[in-house]
């Protein structure tokens, strides 16, 4: 018989508060067209994107995260000192170590929480949310701050016609804490590493070792059609599995918050899932672009701020991207 005692956790967890930060600079498609041969109509018809936000030198990964975190903590009605863990999902913090989560935890006044970064691309928020839920239920942390943050403008090749218009910057954060009933459903997640080459960084950072700089700075590239087909056909199946795991149907949903990668993908998933007309669908991609790990919490924050969604609504969230990785779950909105 084991001598190890169980943790003093909670039966369930919930999202208690949400916050977001978008850089002040708004970049319309006209700016993108200065470096690629395309048109505003083509970009909108292929992606739904009209504008995106690009960060200034002062709007660092840490600075944007701190702003979003402050809003989420206030929204949750707790103090920074009550945060027991900080999880940051990002692919655009360029220092291998230390984790940016440690700096953020210190700057927000969280004391001495567990703090670490994860790299799961556009599914990163779902991965972080799942880890946070486990911590609260296990008892290793009472309140967990989950941040999705990106400065993808640093990794965008403005001469790449396939990707130059896609990416934006921003940070979204949520606080996860105890609940008396299920408010974060089971996560359906996974990876398909055999498709890793479809979304990737063009060069590894080690090309800079010994002065061997490449002709172009490393950027994110993708095989657009392959990614589109995978997202449309495979991720709708994952979304349905998340509904099944939560014990609900599409009719029970109030809100659908998919990763804001491309509006055509969103429309196709809505059709495949046969979502009823009463379901509010996040379309933050139109003015924010693809912000990878930040896209779901940013979209969630905007829906609540505009009144398109309300506290207590049942929402299906799903992230998918580089890896290829994915994560979907059903949540009750804070």
Question: Would you please indicate which residues are annotated as catalytic (active-site) residues?
Answer: 122, 259, 290
Strands (E), the chain: 12-21, 25-28, 51-54, 85-89, 114-118, 144-151, 169-179, 188-191, 199-201, 220-222, 255-258, 280-281, 314-321, 325-332
Q: Which neighbouring-strand residues pair with 317? A: 257, 329
Is 209 buried (19+), middle (13-18) or exposed (0-12) by CB count in 10 A?
exposed
Q: Are the C-beta atoms of 331 and 317 separated by less than 8 Å?
A: yes
- Residue 137: exposed, middle, or buried by beta-carbon count in 10 A (0-12, 13-18, 19+)? middle
**Beta bridge pairs of residue 191:** 325
Helices and strands (H and E) in the chain: how many: 9, 14
Contacts of 157 (CB under 8 A, 6+ apart): 163, 164, 202, 216, 219, 220, 221
| DSSP summary character for residue 44 | H
Q: What 3 state SS string does 132-182 have?
A: HHHHHHHCCCCCEEEEEEEEHHHHCCCCCCCCCCCECEEEEEEEEEEECCC
Contact predicate 67/171, CB 8 Å: yes
CA distance 278 to 206: 50
């Amino acid at each position: 018989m084991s001598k190890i005692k169980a943790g003093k956790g909670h039966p369930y967890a919930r999202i208690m508060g949400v916050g977001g930060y978008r850089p002040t600079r708004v970049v319309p498609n006209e700016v993108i067209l200065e470096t690629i041969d395309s048109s505003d109509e083509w970009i909108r018809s292929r992606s739904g994107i009209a504008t995106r936000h690009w960060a200034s030198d002062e709007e660092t990964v840490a600075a944007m995260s701190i702003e979003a975190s402050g809003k989420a903590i206030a929204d949750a009605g707790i103090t920074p000192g009550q945060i027991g863990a900080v999880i940051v999902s990002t692919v655009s913090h360029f220092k291998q170590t230390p984790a940016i989560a440690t700096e953020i935890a210190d700057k927000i006044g969280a004391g001495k929480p567990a703090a670490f970064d994860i790299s799961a691309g556009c599914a990163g928020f779902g991965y972080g949310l799942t880890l946070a839920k486990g911590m609260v239920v296990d008892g290793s942390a009472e309140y967990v701050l989950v941040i999705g943050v990106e400065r993808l403008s640093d990794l965008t090749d403005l001469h790449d016609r396939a990707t130059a218009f896609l990416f934006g910057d921003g940070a979204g954060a949520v606080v996860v804490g105890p609940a008396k009933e299920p408010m974060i459903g089971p996560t359906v997640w996974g990876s398909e590493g055999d498709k890793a080459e479809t979304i990737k960084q063009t060069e590894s950072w080690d090309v800079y070792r010994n002065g061997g700089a490449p002709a172009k700075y490393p950027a994110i590239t993708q095989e657009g059609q392959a990614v589109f087909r995978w997202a449309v056909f495979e991720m709708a199946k994952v979304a349905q599995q998340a509904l099944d795991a939560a014990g609900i149907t599409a009719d029970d949903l109030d809100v659908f918050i998919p990763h804001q990668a491309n509006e055509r993908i969103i429309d196709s998933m809505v059709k495949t899932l046969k979502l009823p007309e009463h379901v509010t669908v996040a379309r933050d991609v139109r003015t924010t672009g693809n912000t990878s790990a930040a896209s779901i919490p940013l979209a969630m924050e905007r829906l609540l701020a505009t009144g398109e969604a309300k506290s207590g609504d049942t929402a299906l969230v799903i992230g998918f991207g580089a890896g290829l990785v994915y994560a979907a779950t059903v949540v009750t909105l804070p």
